[in-house]
Amino acid sequence: MMSNKKIAVLGGGSWATAIVSILSTNVDDFVWCMRNESAVQHIKQTQHNPNYLVGVSINTDKVSVSSDFKTTCEHADVIILAIPSAFLHVALGALDLDLSKKIFFSAVKGIIPEYNQIVGEYIQNQYKVPLHQIGVITGPCHAEEVALERLSYLTVACQDNLVAEFMSNQLRCNFIKVITSDDIYGTEYSAVLKNVVAVAAGIAHGLGYGDNFLSVLISNAIREIQRFLDVVHPINRDIKDSAYLGDLLVTAYSKFSRNRTFGTYIGKGYSVRAAQLDMNMIAEGYYAVKSIHEINKEHGVLMPITDAVYHIVYEKTSPRSEFKQLSDQLD
């Protein structure tokens, strides 16, 4: 019975905190696990995460908070991954557990940099988890707005409709609407690519480009995403759905977007390292653009926006000259 499945959320950041807040509206007993033991103790004592979304109240009558990843995963039936992609391989690799019977939902919106794989592929290949036990939680849903209980929309994707419906029912509440999909590859790749585009939007903002240019950039970006998805996982999908276009728009335009913020630093002349230190948050787009660049060597999809961000971030080309060239390729 799906209704009796034990849920665990892995990760201690803002999105993990937001997911815990959402789940608390429907689930009476689940586990929240993070590496930071001092944060665990602080949450137990004060019912607030000391580092992220500090205003969100955590109902510790419903949520058991732990730093023991192995025990948490051993006893959970459904594991929601909200760990930054750069740290996921190390976190799961240290468990030494058979995870093949677990149900996984990725809320990461990133690529595992060691393998250049989206999280679903990584879980399937590394831990022999069947594809129908892997899902994605995505959509235009900034953690900061969830914390304010502003109406938000999520897409839950899984090839097993019962699993998708189960997770949807755990997340659906008065401020969260949930749509289901079976496009786990497309939704997850799109969630990765929109972070790259958000970095590009931030660079443009940092360089002083205005809304007129940004609108053209985003118009080209959704076509770039569609070209890539049509090659890596060609199925019938509507790229205008909120899991694709909606997520792209909010990440490219919102003041809450850490990827846009990261790009703005770069556009203003900061080094990658200086931007990362000043932000003190993970911008998934930084890791994603390198992986997408490597993946696309096999496919050869026309991706001028992704290429421009890669050249700036990893090859240290001039943002201004790179965007001058990019502007000549957009229409």
> Catalytic positions, please?
194
Q: What are phi and psi of 264, to 5 degrees?
A: -60, -40
Contact by Cβ (8 Å): 106, 134: yes
Provide the 8-state DSSP code for 262: H
Radius of gyration of the chain (CA): 19
Q: Is 11 left (phi over 0), alpha (psi -120 to 50) or beta?
A: left
Count of residues making up the chain: 331
**319 Cβ partners below 8 Å, 6+ apart?**
203, 206, 207, 266, 267, 269, 312
CA separation for the pair 237, 63 (Å, rounded): 37
Nearest to 194 by CA among 111, 121, 275, 136: 111
DSSP codes, 218-229:
HHHHHHHHHHHH
Nearest to 6 by CA among 71, 79, 98: 79
Q: What are phi and psi of 116, to 5 degrees?
A: 50, 45
Tell me the HSE value of 187 on the side-chain side, using a 13 A CA sphere. Answer: 28
Nearest to 79 by CA among 21, 117, 129: 129
Residue 250 buriedness (CB in 10 A; 0-12 / 13-18 / 19+)? buried
Nearest to 264 by CA among 324, 208, 327: 208
- In this structure, how many other beta carbons lie within 10 angstroms of the beta carbon of residue 330? 13
